[in-house]
Amino acid sequence: MRKSIMAVLICMALLVPSVLSAKGAQEEGDGKPVVGLIMKSLANEFFMSMDAGAKAYAEKDSTFKLITMGMNSETDFDTQVNAIDSLITQGVDLIVLAPADSAGMVAPVKRAIDAGVTVINFDVTLDKGALKAAGLPEEFLFVGPNNTDGAEMVGNYLGETLGAGGKVIIIEGNPGADNAGQRKDGFEKAIATHGLELLASNTAHWETEEANTLMTNLLTKYPEVNGVMCANDSMALGVVRALEAAGRGDVQVVGFDNIPAVKDLVLNDKMLATVHMDGPDMAIAAFNAGFEILSGKRENLGWEQTPLVLADKAFFE
């Protein structure tokens, strides 16, 4: 019981600076909309760069007030729920959310909407079944990429490199996130296209250290592996470390997101490629979609697709 109380107090403490920031913005009476950006783990370089880019954009734009929040880890679901509830209490105008759990975050999204807050779903889709069950449209607006196509693209690049018969492992993302399933689907399509052999497909919940441990164990079980498909670059970092420790420079690794650390790995032949996805631009697109909804220029429905690019050695040179 004491541990549960302490966890709640810690979460509240983490949210206090943002609460004060929002109240300050509202008390200024400048009429600017207040936007809450809720990301996933800020231990992930992708969301760290998104956080920095979104803040820089808001400062330069100066037409709205921005609060940014993130999780301590990719599985820290309760912090996202607390963040939405905090922003509802503050009376923000717009919440831009990258859900950690596609089904689990629908209930807090519904609370926000019922409280009169506009919510934009970006990066990871909310679950259509959960949306329908909550009385929300299944075509709730999503701002983000086609994760299946992106994973298939980089998976095809690996398949072309290995050739038919190549033996591969998939390192999956968090099973609760729709983009994890979509990226796995894309990898599996590439495996079928190129006649690769799938040795194993396991989750590391988007985390570097978990991926490192998982890959170390998989190398022992499947020493014949030729390639690894990672559902994000944070996990790819852990996989590369495991391969280096085992002296397995012959294994090709692909990832997804193009976090800053990947550039040197690709240029130094420690990773084959990744998928470039611009986090700050995606957040900005979500902000702008939200402003259009607030002004009555569009409905909160559909899919605003953001671009993906194969990032191989030629991309970085």
Same domain flag for 155 and 139: no
In whole angstroms, give the CA distance from residue 66 to residue 116: 18
CATH for 122:
3.40.50.2300
- Give the pLDDT score at 16: 33
Same domain flag for 101 and 214: no
- Give the pLDDT score at 12: 39
Count of structural domains, the chain:
2
- Give the pLDDT score at 30: 74
Give 301's DSSP letter: B
Same domain flag for 290 and 271: no
* Crossing angle (nearest 10°) for helices 208-221 and 233-245: 50
Same domain flag for 270 and 290: no
List, run by run, the mean pLDDT of 10-residue segments along the chain (317 residues). Answer: 38 37 44 96 95 98 97 91 97 97 97 98 97 98 98 98 98 95 98 98 97 98 98 98 98 97 98 97 98 97 98 97
Is residue 273 within 8 Å of 240, Cβ to Cβ? Answer: no
CA distances from 103 to 55, 182, 209 (A): 28, 15, 26
- Give the pLDDT score at 1: 39
- Give the pLDDT score at 31: 84
Is residue 206 within 8 Å of 232, Cβ to Cβ? Answer: yes
**Which residue range(s) make up the domain with 43?**
2-145+279-306
Whether 315 maps to a domain, the answer reads no
* Token digits of residue 297: 């220029």
Same domain flag for 166 and 224: yes
Is residue 80 within 8 Å of 100, Cβ to Cβ? Answer: yes
In whole angstroms, give the CA distance from residue 19 to residue 12: 10
Is residue 282 within 8 Å of 107, Cβ to Cβ? Answer: no
- Give the pLDDT score at 124: 95
- Give the pLDDT score at 10: 37
What Rg, from alpha-carbon coordinates, does the chain have? Answer: 20
